Amino acid sequence: MEKFNKIIVDIFKLAPDRIKDSLRFEEIPDWDSMNFLLFIAEIENQFEVSFNMDEVIKAKSLGDIKNMLRSRDIKL
Amino acid sequence: MKNPKIIFKWEGKGFVFQDVANALKKSGIKNGDTLMVHADLGRFGKLGEITDKKEFANVFIDAFLKVIGKEGTLIVPTFTYSFCKNETYDPDNTASTVGLFTEELRKRKDAFRSIHPIFSVAAIGKRAKELTSNLSKNSFGKGSIYDKLQKIKNSKYVIFGVDYFSCTQIHYVEEMLEVPYRYVKKFEGKIRNKNKMYDDQYEYYVRDLDKETNPDFDKIEKHLLNKGFLKKIPFGSAFVSVVKISDICREAKKMFKKYPIFFLKEKNTLEFKNLPFYIGVLDSPDNKKLPLTLPFALEFNKDLDLIVQRYSKESEEILESAYKKGSSASTPLGQGSYSISRADDVLKYIIKICGSNLKNYSFLEPGCGYGYLLHRLKLLGAKKVIGCDPGTDAIKGSKEFGINIVNDFYSPGLFKEKFDVIFSFGLLEHVKNPLEILQSFKENLKEKGKIFAAVPNCQNKLKLGDASILGPEHWSFFTPETFKNILLKSGLSGVEVKLGAKDAMIYGWGEISNKNIKKKKELNQGSTEKLFYSFSKKVKNSLPLLQKRIEKLEKENKTLGLYGGGLQIIGLLNHKLEPRFFNGDTVIHGKYFPGYSNPIENPINLIKKKVDELWIMATDYDKEITDYLKKEINIPESTKIFSFKNYLENLK
C-alpha cells in the first residue's frame, strides 16, 4: 500500500491524505499525459508487472489501477 | 535537427518523430492546412525515451508543423474558464486546462494566444496572429475562432489520440442555430494583458442544466465517418481523426434540422409527467375517484430483453385499486361487437394445443375477468374450469356462468390442486414481472402441464411510433420475438408463438419441462433495444407537430373528432377544444373516456352533426375505418380525414 501511495505522491505531488480509490485522474491537479505515462511506467517497474494499453486506457481512477494490480495477484 | 528519441512504445515498436509525421500525412493532413487540434498524448503507447514534458510535447508539435509547412497554421484550445472561476485571465501566463500538448504549444515563443477568459486558443503558423486577434466576446458564435475557421477553405479539425469525438466546432453550429437546450450566459472578470489590467464581460453559450443536455458527439462522428467526410486511422494504441471544418458545419446543421437532439445523449427512458390513466370506458364522465393522469416512464429492461414501464409504487397502488373496483383495460371478452370473435380466436388455439376433446383437461385462468373463456371451455366439454380475478366482474361472471371464480389476484397458493392447462388472456402485460408469474404458474401445473398466454402485439405500433399503446396499466410491451424469449426464459419447452387475427394479439404456449432453462445464446435477442430507441425518437418527433395541428384547429374555431381511441395521444397535447369520440364498437357507445364530457358516439352521427376534422387514431384498422366512413357512412366531404398512421409513416 505504501509503495503505491509513494509513487502517486512523487509523481503527482499529491498530499497523502487526498489519495483514495475513488479519486479520478482528472481530479488530480498535476495530472497530464506525460505524468500519466511516468506513473504507469513506475507502477509497472516497482510492482514488476506489465499492463496492456487497452486496460491502461480504460482506467479512470486510482482504484482502477489498484484493481489492475490485484488482477495480477498483487496484494495491496 | 529532429528529435531522434523514442516518444512512446506500443506492441514492441518504438515510435519516433517521423512516425508521427507519417501518421499525420496518412490521416489526410496536407501542406498549407489550417488545423484545430484536440490532443491526448498519453493514449498512443507507453513511456519511451523522453521523460521531460516540454521535450515530449514539442516532438508532436514539430511533427504537425513539419506536415503543414510554412503556409499552414496549427491551432489548439487553451481553455482556462477563468471568468467562470472568478479568476483573472492573463494570456501570457494563465495555463491551459486542456492538456500538455496545448500548454506547451502556448508557451512557445512563436505562439500567439487569443484574449478570451474562458475559451482562448493558441496558434503557430502563417495565420496564427490573424486568427487569434479581434475575436468576438461570445464563446462559439459569430466572430469567434470557430466562425473564422469555418470560412477558411483548408481548415481541418484533428482529434489526436482523444478517445471520444471532442469537437468544439459543433458548439459553433449549435450557437448559430440557437438550439433550445443552450443559452447565452454572461461572465465578468478581470483581464491582465501585459501591464494593463481591466474589467470585462464575456459570453458563454452554456447548457441548460434544467433540461436533458448531456452532449453526445458519437452520432455526428459516425455520420461523418459513414459519409466519408471523416478519416480515422489507427496510430499506436489510439486513433487520429481528421475532418474538414466545412464538412462538420454543413453536416451538423443538416442532422440537427432532421433531428433536433442529434448532439445530445439519448435518454434511456421516454418520460411523460402526465399520461392519461385509462383502463376502461366509463358509464359517466366520473372516473371513480381515480386520477386522470399518472407520471409514466418507458424503458428497456436488459435482463428481460423487454420494453417495460419503469416501476412506480404510485402507479402500482392505483392500478391495484382500479382493478378491485372492476376496471378492465379492454371490453371484456364475450361482450361487444368484436370480443366474441376475439374469444373464438383464442379458443381456436387452445383447441389446437389440447385437441378437440377437452374432457381430460382441467383449466385454470388467472385474471379471467368475467370468466367468458372458462364458460366457453366448459361448454366445449372441459373436465374442470376455475379462474381468479380481483374485479367485481368475477362475482357477476361466476353467478352467470355457474363457474368457480376466486375473487382475488393470482398467487400460486390460491389453489391447492394442479391443472393440466393454465392460460391467460391479456394478463402478462399487466403484471410487473411476466417472467416471475410464468414461473409461478408451474406450481399449479401437473407434470407436462401446458401454459398458454395471449398478450397484445405491440410490434407494429412500436415500429410506427404510435404512443397510443402507452398506458400506466401496462408494465410490458411485447413483440412476438420478446414474448417468445420470455416463454423460453421461463423454462418452457416446445415454445411456439403465433399472431392472432389482424395481428392484434400474440399467442404463445409451451409445456413445463425439467430441463435447464434455455441458455441465452439460444435466444434471439438484440433488436428490442434498438426498437425502444427508435420508438422513443418517433414519439418525441411526432407530438410537437400534432400540437401545432391542434392549435391551428383551435385558432380557427374548428371541431375535432377522434375515431378509434386517441385518448392517450390527445391527452399528451395541450388543448382547450373538446374533441368528440367515435367508435365502431356498439357496446361502448354512450360511454365516456375519463376526463372528457363528450360520450363515445356511433360514427353515423358524423352525418347529422359533422366535425371539421376527423383523426383516425386506430393505426391497426386505418384503411378499414377510412373505407367504412367513405363508402358505407358517406361522411360529408367537408370533413377532413387525418390518418394518424399515414402521419407517423411519413414523419421524417
pLDDT in tens, B570-593: 999 999 999 999 998 888 899 998
- Please give the residue of chain B at the shortest CA–CA distance from A37: B47
Cβ distance of B101 and A57 shorter than 8 Å: no
Mean pLDDT of B274-297: 80
Q: Mean per-residue pLDDT for B131-136?
A: 97
A37 interaction partners in chain B (CB closer than 8 Å): 8, 42, 46-47
Asked, colleague to colleague, whether B336-533 and B541-650 share their fold, the answer is yes
Nearest CA in chain B to A31: B99
Question: Do residue A38 and residue B101 have CB atoms under 8 angstroms apart?
Answer: no
Q: How far is A20 from chain B, CA to nearest CA, in Å?
A: 22
| B101 vs A: CB within 8 A | yes
For cell 391497426, name the residue: B620
Within-domain flag for A53:
yes
Burial class (CB in 10 A: 0-12, 13-18, 19+), B287: middle
pLDDT in tens, B243-276: 999 999 999 999 988 877 788 876 678 889 889 8
Q: Which residues of B touch A39 (CB under 8 A)?
A: none
Measured N-to-C along each axis, helices B100-107 and A33-47 cross at an angle, to the nearest 10 degrees, of: 130
User: Reduced to 3 DSSP states, what percent helix, strand and coil does chain B have, rounded to the nearest 5?
Assistant: 35, 25, 40
Strand-pair partners of A61:
A24
Q: Cell 504549444 appears where? A: B105
Higher per-residue confidence, B238 vs B530? B238
Spatial distance between the Cα atoms of B317 and B438, rounded to a whole number of angstroms? 22
pLDDT band at B330 (very low <50, low <70, confident <90, very high): very low
- Is A42 among the domain residues? yes
B33, HSE (Cβ side, Cα atoms, 13 Å): 25
Q: Which of A52-56, B120-124, B639-643 has the lowest mean pLDDT?
A: A52-56
Cβ-based interface (< 8 Å): residues of A facing B:
32-34, 36-38, 40-41, 44, 53-54, 56-57
Which residues 6+ apart lie within 8 Å of B612 measured at CB?
Answer: B553, B558, B559, B560, B638, B639, B640
Residues of chain B found within 8 Å of residue A44, distances taken between Cβ atoms: 46
Q: Does B95 touch chain A (CB under 8 A)?
A: no
Name every chain A residue with its beta carbon within 8 A of the beta carbon of B236: 53
Residue-level pLDDT at B524: 52
B471: helix, coil or strand?
Answer: coil
* H/E segment holding residue A65: helix A62-70
Q: Tell whether B237 lies on the interface with A, counting CB pairs under 8 A.
A: yes
Phi, psi of B245 (to 5 degrees): -65, -35
Name which of B219-223, B314-318, B368-372, B412-416 the model is least confident about: B314-318
Collapsing DSSP to helix, strand or coil, B78 comes out as coil
- List the single residue in A38, A40, A53 with the smallest CB-CB distance to B10: A53
- What confidence tier does B284 reach under pLDDT thresholds 50, 70, 90? confident
Query: What is the predicted pLDDT for the residue at B366?
Result: 95
Give the integer Cα–Cα distance in Å for B346 and B314: 33
DSSP three-state, residue B641: strand
| Residue of B474, B489, B493, B491 lying closest to B427 (CA atoms) | B474
* Confidence band of B329 (pLDDT split at 50, 70, 90): very low
Task: In whole angstroms, give the CA distance from residue B31 to residue B71.
Answer: 7
Name every chain A residue with its beta carbon within 8 A of the beta carbon of B163.
57
Measure the CA–CA gap between B557 and B547, rounded to whole angstroms.
15
**Residue B325's pLDDT band (cuts 50, 70, 90):** low
Under a CB-based contact definition with an 8 Å cutoff, are residues B59 and B44 in contact? no
Position A22 in a domain: yes
Range scoring the smallest mean pLDDT among B19-33, B388-402, B506-520: B506-520
Distance between B45 CA and the closest CA of chain A, angstroms: 7
- Return d(Cα A24, Cα B595) in angstroms, integer: 52
pLDDT confidence band for B380 (50 / 70 / 90): very high
Give the pLDDT confidence score for residue B337 in this predicted structure. 56
Chain B residues whose CB is inside 8 A of the A57 CB are 43, 163, 237-238
Report the CATH number that the domain containing residue A52 is assigned in CATH. 1.10.1200.10
Other Cβ atoms within 10 Å of B436 Cβ, number? 11
> In terms of CATH, what superfamily is B336-533?
Vaccinia Virus protein VP39 (3.40.50.150)
Q: Residue B385 forms beta bridges with which residues?
A: B363
> For position B496, what pLDDT does the model report?
95
Q: Is B471 exposed, middle or buried (0-12, 13-18, 19+ CB in 10 A)?
A: buried
How far apart are alpha carbons B387 and B155 in whole angstroms? 73
Q: Among B49-58, B293-302, B324-333, B465-474, name the most confident range.
A: B49-58
User: So what's the pLDDT on residue B180?
Assistant: 83
Q: For B201-254, what is each residue's pLDDT tens digit?
A: 999 999 888 766 788 888 899 999 999 999 999 999 999 999 999 999 999 999
* 8 A C-beta contact, residue B410 and residue B366: yes
- Looking at this protein, which amino acid is placed at residue B35? L
Whether A56 is covered by a domain: the verdict is yes
- Separation of alpha carbons B114 and B240, rounded Å: 26
Distance CA B365, CA B118 (A): 67
Give the pLDDT of residue B1. 55
Span B433-439, mean pLDDT? Answer: 93
| Residue B299 scores a pLDDT above 50 | yes
**DSSP string for residues in B145-164:** HHHHHHHSTTEEEEEES-SS
Q: Cα distance from B8 to chain A (closest Cα, Å)?
A: 9
pLDDT score of A14 more than 80 = yes
Look at A40 and B47 and tell me if their CB atoms are within 8 Å: yes
Evaluate whether residue A47 is within a structural domain. yes
Residue B162 above 60 pLDDT? yes
Best mutation site among B13, B15, B47 for testing chain A: the one with the most A CBs within 10 Å?
A: B47
Q: Is residue A75 part of a domain?
A: no
Residue in B with minimal Cα distance to A42: B47
Whether B101 sits inside 8 A of A33 (CB atoms) is yes
Q: Which CATH architecture has domain B541-650?
A: 3-Layer(aba) Sandwich (3.40)
The C-alpha R_g of chain A, in whole angstroms, comes to: 11
> Measuring CA to CA, how many Å separate B498 from each of A29, B213, B380, B441?
62, 42, 23, 21
Contact with chain A for residue B298, Cβ under 8 A: no
> What is the percent of chain B with per-residue pLDDT over 90, rounded to a whole number?
70
Q: Please give the pLDDT value at position B331.
A: 46
Residue B281 pLDDT level (bands cut at 50, 70, 90) = confident
The ipTM of this complex is 0.94
**Lowest-pLDDT choice from A59-73, B49-63, B118-132, B512-526:** B512-526
Judged against a pLDDT cut of 70, whether residue B328 lies above it is answered with no
Per-residue pLDDT, B565 = 85
CA B292 to chain CA centroid, nearest Å = 25
Cα angle B319, B324, B326 (rounded to 5 degrees) comes to 100
The better pLDDT of the pair B632, B515 is held by B632
> Does the structure show a pLDDT above 50 at B520?
no
Mean pLDDT of B501-509: 91
Domains of chain B, by residue range, sit at 8-258, 336-533, 541-650
Q: Which residue has the cell 362475482?
A: B395
Q: What is the pLDDT of residues B338-364, one digit of tens each?
A: 677 888 889 999 999 998 899 999 999
A7 to chain B: which residues are within 8 Å by CB? none
Strands (E), B130-261: 155-160, 182-193, 196-207, 230-235, 238-244
Confidence of residue B526 (pLDDT cuts 50, 70, 90): low
A-B Cβ pairs (cutoff 8 Å, strict): 44
pLDDT tens digits, one per residue of B165-179: 889 999 999 999 998
Q: Is residue A50 part of a domain?
A: yes
Number of structural domains (chain A) is 1
Q: Does B235 touch chain A (CB under 8 A)?
A: no
**Residues of chain A contacting residue B99, judged by C-beta atoms under 8 Å apart:** 32-33
Question: Which among A40, A53, A54, A55 is the top mutation candidate for probing chain B, defined by the most B β-carbons within 10 Å of its own β-carbon?
Answer: A53
Coil vs helix vs strand at A5: helix
First to last CA, chain B: 57
A76 found inside a domain: no
Cβ–Cβ < 8 Å for B279, B327: yes
Residues in chain A with CB shorter than 8 Å from the CB of B103 are 32
Domain that holds residue A61: 2-70
- Cell numbers at B250, concatenated: 454543413
Cell numbers standing for residue B647? 402521419
Band of pLDDT at residue B522, cut at 50, 70 and 90: very low
* Cα separations in angstroms, B127 against A5, B68, B123, B143: 46, 12, 8, 16
Chain A contacts in chain B segment 3-22 (CB below 8 A): 8, 10
What residue in A sits closest to B43 (Cα-Cα)?
A57
pLDDT of residue B335: 61
